[in-house]
Amino acid sequence: MRAYAFPAYDTPVFKAKTAAVIGGGNVAMDSVRTAKRLGAERAVIVYRRSRTEMPARNEEIHHAEEEGIEFQLLTTPLRYFGDEYGRVRAMECQKMGLGEPDASGRRRPVPIEGSEYTMEVDLVVCAIGQSPNPLIPQTTPGLKMGKWGNIEVDWATMATSLPGVYAGGDIIRGGATVILAMGDARIAAAQIDKDLRR
Ligand SMILES: Cc1cc2nc3c(=O)[nH]c(=O)nc-3n(C[C@H](O)[C@H](O)[C@H](O)COP(=O)(O)OP(=O)(O)OC[C@H]3O[C@@H](n4cnc5c(N)ncnc54)[C@H](O)[C@@H]3O)c2cc1C
């Protein structure tokens, strides 16, 4: 959206003083380090379990620590406070303990009553998993969707249930990788070429 060309384009990258990133995965590490590099004085990971349970790769966590990222572990956000412009100004957090392992095998975070505190923030990024944008399924009758809101395709051709419509990448796989998206696109392109020659 040409954020780099602000003010010619009305889509600036917002530069935070204190950025909080919720989550403990690779996307969280990426986001918090990006916020820091964009000039945030404080860039903070807020994660509800401990470092041991963090799903991010070890080197990602290590590099974030090296880069001066603050970690508020065993902490979960409860609510956000906004200002009159609808911009976030603060976040209420609660400290967590660890209970028995849950279905994922990781110890379950348990809220500690009375441990609530407020943290001033002017940017919050929620990096707690991704789900597909529901706009396309809602506006495209006949497009077959999976139960997680992903578009269903024939994996050999990337063709969807609608003739002439192909899909690939995260919208069919859930959050995945660039290389898988590119591979899907190659399969789809080859099939489109074949179909157009029929
Ligand atoms: C913070 C972060 C870090 C990541 N780091 C890595 C990494 O290091 N390595 C890696 O391999 N992967 C990484 N990923 C995952 C990777 O970005 C995705 O797997 C990849 O971008 C998927 O490509 P895609 O083309 O399927 O979807 P996207 O890149 O999401 O592209 C979809 C496009 O469709 C547009 N769109 C959506 N709805 C509509 C509509 N109705 N009409 C028109 N356009 C629409 C969107 O604006 C978007 O531009 C990361 C993801 C995140 C969020």
| Residue-range domain boundaries for the chain | 3-126, 135-197
**Per-residue pLDDT tens for 6-59?**
889 888 888 899 999 999 999 999 999 999 999 999 999 999 999 999 999 999
pLDDT at res. 42 = 97
User: Nearest C-alpha to atom 26 of ligand 1 is from which residue?
Assistant: 169
pLDDT at res. 49 = 95
Give CATH superfamily name and number for 3-126. FAD/NAD(P)-binding domain (3.50.50.60)
**Residue-by-residue DSSP string for 92-138:** EEEEEEEEEE-TTSSEEEEE-TT--EEEE-SEEEE-S-----THHHH
Identify the three-state secondary structure at position 22: strand
3-class SS letters over 160-183: CCCCCCECCCHHHHCCCCHHHHHH
Global pTM reads 0.80
pLDDT at res. 195 = 96
Give me the sheet containing 70-72, strands edge to edge.
Answer: 70-72, 42-46, 18-22, 123-126
User: Nearest C-alpha to atom 37 of ligand 1 is from which residue?
Assistant: 133
pLDDT at res. 11 = 84
Atom from ligand 1 closest to the CA of residue 170: 26
The two three-digit tokens of residue 156, written as one number: 């050999």
What's the burial of 176, exposed, middle or buried (CB within 10 Å: 0-12/13-18/19+)? middle
pLDDT at res. 134 = 87
Helix then strand then coil, in percent of the chain rounded to 5, is 30, 25, 45
User: Is residue 9 within 8 Å of residue 3, measured between CB atoms?
Assistant: yes
pLDDT at res. 83 = 96
- List the one residue out of 124, 110, 114 whose CA is nearest residue 48: 110
pLDDT at res. 6 = 80
**How many Å lie between the centroid of ligand 1 and the Cα of residue 84?**
32
**How many Å lie between the centroid of ligand 1 and the Cα of residue 147?**
20
Atom from ligand 1 closest to the CA of residue 168: 26
Which segments in the chain show pLDDT lower than 70? none
Q: Ligand 1 pocket by C-beta < 6 Å: which residues?
A: 27, 30-31, 133, 135-136, 169-171, 176-179, 181
pLDDT at res. 121 = 98
CA distance 56 to 73: 14
Pocket test for ligand 1, best of 37, 59, 170 (most atoms within 8 A of CB): 170
Q: Across-strand partners of 76? A: 94
